[in-house]
Amino acid sequence: MRLVLSLLLPALIACSASAAFGQQAPHKTPQKVISSERSHTVLVLGDSLSAAHNLAESQGWVALMQKRLAEKNAGATHKWQIVNASISGETTSGGLSRLPELLTVVQPGWVLLELGANDGLRGLPLALIRANLQKLIDQSKQSGARVVLLGIMLPPNYGPAYAEPFAAMYQQLAEKNTLPLVPFLLKDVATNPKLMQQDGLHPTAEGEPIVLDNVWAVVKPLWLPSSK
C-alpha cells in the first residue's frame, strides 16, 4: 500500500521559531511509516534552515521539493516521499541521538544531511563537528541509504580562522565518502538581504525557491535523470 507522507510528520518532529538557527524543539517518538518503494523515500535531517523557520511549512524548500517531485514524476509507478525530520536548533549531536530511530522507522533510500550550522554558531571544535557528521554519514550508509551532504557556511563575523575550515569540511567529507554535495545551501540567498529574514540567518519565503534550486541541481540527476 502506498502512503504519500505529509512533509512534516508531527510525530517525528516539532519545529519552533527562535534566535540563531533555532532553539531546540522537543523530540517525539516517530510513528511507523509505510513506503511502497524505499528507493523513493527521502529523509531530510536538518535544522531550522530545512524547517521553514518563521514561515508556513508549505513555503520551505523541503515542501517545495515534494511539490516539484510530484510534478516532474506525475504518472510514474512509484511516488517520491519526503520525510522532513528537521528541527529548529538541531546540532550534529542531536542528530546522532535521533537518527537510529528515524532510519528504522522511515527506512529511507536517501538521506539529505543538513547539519552543523548550530554547532558552528556555538564555536564548537571543528574536529567534533566533523566526527559527528562522519558518524551520521556512516549510520545512514550502514542502513542502506545513500547520502547527499548539504554544505553550510558561517556568517563572516565568525572570522576566517574558523569559518573557512568549517566550510571546507563539507567538501572534504564529501570527497572522503564519495557523496553528492550541495556546496552551499544558501548560495545566492545569504548575500542578498532582500532574501533573508531580519535575523540575517534564515531565508524569506522569496529565498526558499532559490534554496530548492541549489539542492535540485544536485539531486535531480540522481533521482530523475531523464526528466527535463
Each as own residue / partner, the long-range contacts of residues 52-58 (CB below 8 Å, 24 or more positions apart, any chain) are: 52/15, 52/208, 53/15, 53/17, 53/21, 53/22, 53/88, 53/197, 53/202, 54/17, 54/197, 54/202, 55/204, 55/205, 55/208, 56/205, 57/7, 57/8, 58/7
Q: Active-site residue 213, yes or no?
A: no
Nearest CA-CA partner of 115 in 149, 155, 165: 149
The DSSP secondary structure of 177-207, one letter per residue, reads HT--EES-TTTTTTT-GGGB-TTSSSB-TTT
Q: Active-site residue 199, yes or no?
A: yes
138, 188, 199, 227: the active-site residue: 199
160-177 vs 126-142: helix axis angle to the nearest 10? 20
Residue 38 near residue 78 (C-beta atoms within 8 A): no
Q: Half-sphere exposure (CA, 13 Å, Cβ side) for 156? A: 2
Q: Active-site residue 48, yes or no?
A: yes
35, 48, 88, 140: the active-site residue: 48
Residues forming the active site: 48, 199, 202
